[in-house]
Amino acid sequence: MIEQLGLGDRLEWREPVTATLHDGRPYQLDSPASLLRFSPLPLVDRLRMGAALAALKAMPNPRLLVGETAAAWTRRWMGERAYEVVWEPLLRGKFGDAAPEIAMPWFWARVHDRTQSLGYVRGGFQQLYDRMADEVRAAGGETRFGTSVTSVRTDGAGLLVETDQGSERFDRVISTFAPRLTARLVPELPDEWRARHEWGRAYGAHCVVLALDRPLTSTYWLNVNDPGFPFMALVEHTNYMPAADYGGRHLVYLGNYRPMDDTLMTAPLDAILDEFLPHLERLNIAFDRSWLTDAWVFAAPFSQPIVSVDYRDHIPPFHTPVAGLWVASMFQVYPHDRGQNYSIALADRLVDRVTGRTLAR
Ligand SMILES: Cc1cc2nc3c(=O)[nH]c(=O)nc-3n(C[C@H](O)[C@H](O)[C@H](O)COP(=O)(O)OP(=O)(O)OC[C@H]3O[C@@H](n4cnc5c(N)ncnc54)[C@H](O)[C@@H]3O)c2cc1C
């Protein structure tokens, strides 16, 4: 799709370094070779973990893993120590108290789908979305930003969409919101649908972006497995793409997943910086607040569904019981983790269904 939209020459594939912070030291941990060198684990555990990861890579689908938790599976096949040092901190960072409930098929997808190679549209993904909006307009469609949908209900033969800018009638509506939000906006969704799909929990994503006048670390993605840090991942984007692309600024993301009512989700930027910045000295002793030239904070609700073992039974089908109303969101890409590539593949399947294209093939 990036190529179709004329951005293929800006798509770059690189292999940036992913590391794990353990006992105050970053260890590269993103390949079989780096796993063999990962000294916090005894050699026998490294070999065991490598064999289990290879088995997951080779497994074509997660059928045999249904009903299992990632915590129990990794403990059994990779060993208690591998779980404690590598997987438990990662699962806790992403899912908090729900870490022991996370489904093994989701873990399989994380291992199976991924390689070290990471693609990026040089200059930023905004370009992709701008081009998509251009295509929509060229095809006679419209994009309306800054418009809040307040309700959707059946109205004669169609659906009436009410927004804070007025209401409009459509033949079909596709909601790309989290199922809970769709349920809130569509009072007609029957109790049966609600009981099954207005279900489960999701965390919000919180991301502080720092612009520094010099590099902070030498890794791209650092999983913060040590306790006591107020963020779970430190991503130095300019160890992946050149700082020159950003006017010489070195960009660092400090990421967290938190319950949506967590105080961090609404905390002011100054207070967050006061709490977060002193921890950067633990990663680079020379760090000084004067390196900071700018900072931003973003908090997005419903970003990380809690993919527990029974999650799969609650995924909504594309079509809802309300005539003409379809749903397609990040909550339906399970067992895959949320990602733009999965949403594009999901949209392709949805369009086939909505337009009946599958039947014609
Ligand atoms: C920390 C983090 C890192 C990630 N890294 C990557 C990565 O490297 N690569 C990758 O491919 N993906 C990545 N992802 C995933 C990717 O960002 C998401 O999959 C994608 O943004 C999901 O798109 P979406 O449209 O489903 O939801 P969102 O991007 O959340 O969009 C939902 C939109 O709906 C709007 N909205 C809500 N209520 C209403 C309403 N009532 N009326 C109108 N609008 C409303 C919201 O304002 C929002 O703009 C990452 C996600 C996170 C959290």
Distance 266 CA to ligand 1 centre (A): 18
**Eight-state DSSP code of residue 276:** H
The single residue listed with the structure tokens 């190679």 is: 117
In order of their start, the domains of the chain are 31-115 (1.10.3110), 144-200+307-355 (3.50.50.60)
Q: Structure tokens of 85?
A: 């040092």
Phi/psi of residue 288, nearest 5 degrees: -135, 145
Q: pLDDT below 70 — which residues of the chain?
A: 358-361
Q: CA dihedral defined by 216, 219, 223, 228, rounded to 10 degrees?
A: -30
Residue 130 Cα to ligand 1 middle (Å): 15
Going by alpha carbons, the residue nearest to atom 5 of ligand 1 is 339
Residue 245, token pair as written in the block: 């692309």
78 touches 48 (CB < 8 A): yes
DSSP state, residue 316:
P
Separation CA 72–CA 91 (nearest Å)? 12
Quick one: which of 325, 315, 326 has its CA closest to 349? 326
Residue nearest to atom 19 of ligand 1 (CA): 339
Question: Ligand 1 atom closest to Cα of 150?
Answer: 41
Predicted local confidence at residue 356, as pLDDT: 86
Question: How many CB atoms lie under 10 A from the CB of residue 23?
Answer: 9
Q: Which of 337, 340, 342, 343 to mutate to test the pocket of ligand 1 (most atoms within 8 A of CB)?
A: 340
Question: Is the CB–ligand 1 distance for residue 255 below 6 Å?
Answer: yes
Please report the pLDDT score of residue 219 as a whole number. 97
Is the Cβ atom of 346 under 6 angstroms away from ligand 1? no
Protein residue closest via CA to atom 45 of ligand 1: 148
Q: Is the CB of 182 under 6 A from ligand 1?
A: no
- Stated as kind and residue range, the H or E segment containing 82 is helix 80-82
Q: Answer for the pair 171, 179: CB distance below 8 angstroms, yes or no.
A: no
User: How far apart are the CA of 231 and the centre of ligand 1, in A?
Assistant: 20
- Return the residue whose CA atom lies nearest to atom 4 of ligand 1: 339
Mutate to test the pocket of ligand 1, among 303, 332, 334, 336 (most ligand atoms within 8 A of CB): 303
- Output the pLDDT for position 233: 97
